């Protein structure tokens, strides 16, 4: 799992972003796709990507993994 937190609160009061990699890999996400997903998430966080590009990337990734979304 990947966790990003900027506070020192107890485990029940964490803030930030947590990605469960087991859920992603069990659905077929490979290392390269995980790297690209991380870049995409970073781009969304820092505002360097347009909304349309996020939607397009998300749909393309989901389709390549045969997810039901």
Which pLDDT tens digits describe the chain residue by residue (69 residues)? 455 555 566 666 666 666 777 777 887 888 888 888 888 888 988 889 888 998 898 888 888 886 655
Place of tokens 């900027």: 6
Rounded to two decimals, the pTM is: 0.62
How many CA atoms does the CB half-sphere of 60 hold within 13 Å? 10
Query: pLDDT tens across 35-48, in order?
Result: 888 888 889 888 89
Which residues does 7 contact at the CB level (< 8 Å), separation at least 6?
A: 13, 14, 15, 16
- CA 55 to chain centroid, in Å, comes to 13
Check residue 16 and give its pLDDT. 65
Q: At CA 26, angle to CA 2 and CA 38, rounded to 5? A: 35
């Amino acid at each position: 799992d990947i966790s990003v937190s900027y506070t020192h609160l107890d485990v029940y009061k964490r803030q930030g972003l947590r990605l469960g990699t087991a859920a992603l890999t069990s659905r077929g996400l490979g290392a390269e796709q995980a790297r690209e997903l991380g870049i995409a998430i970073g781009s969304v966080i820092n505002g360097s990507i347009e909304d349309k590009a996020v939607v397009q990337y998300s749909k393309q990734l989901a389709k390549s993994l045969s997810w039901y979304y």
